[in-house]
Structure 1
């Protein structure tokens, strides 16, 4: 059965324009970054620069909407940037985008090219369904600090993605936990594309279709399903 994803009423009331799309994939073959995945990132950076012109990433209307959403739950958007804005800023530097692994490179390229937050989770590491909620502040978030595993807790009211074991991503899409991240051993995954107005449904679907196409090229034979959760 497909993984269940739900968005709480509290989140919908706070940010009523939120929509998301899921690309669920089984039978992936991941591995180290290669020329193909690197080319995806280079092309994404080129498309980003063309899209922005002389503007900074946060001046794009979609990124401006995400900054407003972050402010709505108490985050400081100039210090705590959504994942798409953070990646876009890196893409425009001399260092460019990091090369992580085939799957992460693929979804990072879509995030940068379309200026949309995209996350990838290892389906086999998710416990139960995934939920987007406003945190109580008691939920565990397992992360790594100073090379050692540690447990943090979100702030009360913070928007987080979580499963039955705890928080999988803090501040909506700001920092993913290592427990469910995609590694070179991952074979089943879920990719989450998140949008706000003024991004249209067609633009969201276009980004999802492009990600599905990239994944098929990187991992021929994988079973790919694209859907919009209710």
Structure 2
């Protein structure tokens, strides 16, 4: 099993920097409140200096959404949506310790972070343009079909695990109480994305090691190293660390 972006995506968005982390052994009983509070403080300090729409990380995603033909204030990347909610409500909903932690890190870095339960991903996972025949399951249980040419996270079975790239994840591979194996993907397009994504992935790995006592495999992808292999004996064709 592997994760990658299509060659067409790299061609259209050469500034893209994806970070990927694979972990096994996640549980739903971890205590992460103090850790989350620290990242919320970072996000609050950034928001005190200006709204999320003024952040370079968010501006880069707005340009990408406009390039894809979508109104960026109608379809927001995940980190912008979270920052907006956090700014308005002062908190984020509690869903699962890992998801809550990833959401907190996402708003601290202003970078979209997706968490996929690999039990419900069939075969390989690729960020690509939709054909229009793929199936997408909403969190309310409704089935949808992405528009042709829409950017999605698609598996080998034609299931879309995210729509409009970083806008909306699927209910199919959402993290649940019984989730054990996860793939975490962070993507950025701003000028300092390379260093920021690398730091974000390292922070995530450190949190997983500290909270769940897990070793992770992780990497930062590029056009010359676009693929992350999840198999135990596979080689990650990207800059990879061990933690």
Alignment TM-score > 0.5, same fold: yes
Cα deviation for residue 95 of structure 1 reads: 4.6
Please name the residue that 1:19 is paired with.
Answer: 17
Give the aligned partner of residue 185 of structure 1: 178
2: distance between equivalents of 1:9 and 1:196? 16
Residue 148 of structure 2: which of 141, 149, 156 is its match?
Answer: 156
Among 108, 115, 124, the residue aligned to 2:110: 115
Task: State how far apart, in whole Å, the 2-side matches of 1:95 and 1:46 are.
Answer: 10
- Runs of 5+ consecutive residues of structure 2 not aligned to the other structure: 227-243
Alignment of 1:2-17 (within 5 A): 3-17=1-15
After superposition, the CA RMSD in angstroms is 1.6
TM-score when normalising by structure 2: 0.85
Instruction: Decide whether the 8 Å contact of 2:75 with 2:167 is kept in 1.
Output: yes
Runs of 4+ in 1 over 3 A off after TM superposition: none
Give the structure 2 partner of residue 199 of structure 1. Answer: 192
Q: 1:124-171: CA deviations, max 9, x gaps? A: 2211111011112221112244xxx22101122211111123100001
- Equivalent residue pairs, number: 221
Residue 49 of structure 2 is aligned to residue 57 of structure 1: no
Deviations 1:171-214 (A, max 9, x none): 11211111111111111111101111213322211111111111
C-alpha deviation, 1:40, in angstroms: 2.7
Indicate which of 49, 67, 73 corresponds to 1:72: 67
| TM-score when normalising by structure 1 | 0.90
Report whether the alignment pairs 1:225 with 2:217: yes
